[in-house]
Structure 1
Amino acid sequence: MLMQQTRLLTIPLNLGGYSHFVDSIFELATKRTSSYVCVANVHTCVESYRNKDFSNAIAQADMVTPDGMPLNLALRWLYQLKQERIAGPDLMPVLLRESEKRKLKVFFYGCTQEVLDTIKEKCRVDFPQLEIAGMISPPYRALTNEEVLSYQQTINDSGANLVLVSLGCPKQERWMASMKGKIDAVMIGVGAAFPMMAGVERRAPRWMQRVCLEWLFRMLCNPRRLFKRYVVTNTYFLYLLLLEKFRLSLFSPPITPQRRIVEYYI
């Protein structure tokens, strides 16, 4: 399937409508192609700018969807590109519903066992025909080589078509990059979608999502864990955007939006 991609700061971002992303993911899932999809936000951009290894993990992804509204606004402000938001918590239920319809197997990797148990119960109610291939709650510490191989074999033996991954950024992106070519499925890093589906974390109201304040809602719900991340990271992101705008205005010839887009097939 043909995909369009552009670059925002140091990360590649795929462009297109919601249905195009979903169809592309299921094309990979049906074939059990070893691949992965990153759901990118401000944290992803800044982490990629600061860390070369993480930047490589993002660059090797088969798709990178624009999750946060700030990324979509940045694309419009810098490059005059309009793009729909493809957020992890919105994407996951769509993938579950389509997997149920297409009779494809889904594996859940990440979060706590309590969250996974709650998700299993919710799936029985909301997606009764969904085939859950398995669930793994890995320890928060670094995995041993034996654990890595054991989890890899468990996922492959399950026959999973999709592996939904909720380890948090940057851990989930690094894990997916390390498993490309080893796990026979498409892996999708959905971030906080697991705890949100389980009801452990609350989703910001729609109006806050639309005006780029979802980060503020999450920070107020968990200030001790998220204050530094959001205040420092968001400020640094704005600084990087201003630098890029300055560079484009002074040192680059005008480039039309279409010339910023590259195309490739997955």
Structure 2
Amino acid sequence: MPELADSPAATYAVCSVPISAVDASEAARRIVRDAVEARACQVHLCNAFTLSLVDQDDDLRTALLEADLNLADGVPVALLGRRHGMKGPVRGSELVGKVATMGSGRLRHYLYGGKDGIAQEMAGRLQHHVPGLQVVGTESPPFTPITDEHVGGLVRRVEESRANILWIGLGTPRQDYLVRRLADRLSMPIVPVGAAFDFWAGSIKEAPRVVQGTGLEWLYRLAVEPRRLWRRYLLGNPRFLLSAWRHRG
């Protein structure tokens, strides 16, 4: 497997947050390398909604500014990095698949997120996609505030499982807060991928391939889950554009 150079990738700022100008394959190679070498790595997938929140959420802003790897999750965020070499967005489900394939035989995955049974179903489908894939833990946590006791228990279970990569699917910004709280306690990549848990489990269908990468995937998701996502897109998208304009430079 080709390795990434040790020098950091170029970054560009969106809403004052540094985004790494890497595609899904480059991001996956970095994550696999850090997992194999037991390096802590805070990863965030930054879509328009995530970045629309940073001006009003100091905890989220701090989490993103402290991250090792902020990835452009969505066409609008990726387009803003074109002059820095950004080729396309990094979709969470695609990243999971690439890391699973590149790290086959070397990675031990822990899945934390989704509704009851989603993490287990995701594990099964990943193992079908990559025969021999090691999933050493699955949890579908209750949707309650995450206390220090919860965090301590999760750290203990992940360490006991001997996982070397932790995937989180709690939704933004909740999953991003958790990455930061875990970062100094686990020497591994911690990667929040939100809806990728549902996509891999098959509980929600992804947008058709003809729509992916067009910048219109949000319309498909809004049509599929209007009650849950209308605020995210109809309010979040304009807020993102205003924030990106305000922080341009």
Q: Which is worse superposed, 175-184 or 113-122?
A: 113-122
Q: Which moved more, 1:57-66 or 1:208-217?
A: 208-217
Q: Number of aligned pairs?
A: 242
Q: Which residue identity lines up with residue 96 of structure 1 in the other structure? A: A
Partner of 1:232: 235
Distance 2:130 2:141 in 1: 25
Q: Is the 8 A contact 2:40 2:189 kept in 1?
A: yes
1:94 aligns with 2:98: yes
> What residue is the counterpart of 1:220 in the other structure?
223
* Paired residue secondary structure (2:55): helix
C-alpha distance in 1, partners of 2:190/2:182?
Answer: 9
Within the alignment, does 1:152 sit opposite 2:155 as a pair? yes
Which shows bigger deviation, 59-68 or 143-152? 143-152
Whole-Å separation in 2 of the counterparts to 1:144 and 1:22: 30
Instruction: Report the counterpart of residue 264 of structure 1 in structure 2.
Output: none
Q: Are 2:206 and 1:203 equivalent residues in the alignment?
A: yes
Q: Which residue of 2 aligns with 1:50?
A: 56
Residue number among 173, 184, 187 corresponding to 2:187 in the alignment: 184
For normalisation by structure 2, the TM-score amounts to 0.91
1:122 aligns with 2:128: no
Q: Which runs of 5+ in 2 are unaligned?
A: 1-5
1:30 aligned onto 2:50: no
Q: Does 1:59 align with 2:62?
A: no
Name the % identity.
Answer: 26
Corresponding residue of 2:3:
none
Q: Secondary structure at the match of 1:212?
A: coil
1:243, distance to aligned residue in structure 2 (A): 3.8
- Pair member with larger Rg: 1
Structure 2: which amino acid aligns with 1:59? Answer: L
- How far residue 244 of structure 1 moved from its aligned partner, in angstroms, is 4.6
Higher helix share: 1
Change (3 A) 1:176 1:243: closer
CA RMSD between the two structures: 1.7
- For 2:80, what is the secondary structure of its paired residue? helix
| CA–CA distance in structure 2, aligned partners of residues 86 and 152 of structure 1 | 27
CA contact (8 A) 1:10 1:55 kept: no
Residues in 2 aligned to 1:206 and 1:143: alpha-carbon distance in whole angstroms: 35
Residue in structure 1 matched with residue 144 of structure 2 by the alignment: 141
SS in 1 for 2:117: helix
Amino acid across the alignment from 1:99: G
Corresponding residue of 2:79: 73
Moved over 4 A (4+): none
In structure 2, do the counterparts of structure 1 residues 134 and 239 end up closer, same or farther at CA, with 3 Å as the change threshold? same
> In 1, Cα distance between the equivalents of 2:239 and 2:150?
36
Structure 1 unmatched ranges of 5 or more = 249-266
> Residue type of the partner of 1:2?
S
- Deviation per CA, 1:205-247: give whole Å up to 9, x if none: 22322321111111111111111111001011222334455xx
Conservation of the 8 A alpha-carbon contact between 2:110 and 2:167:
yes
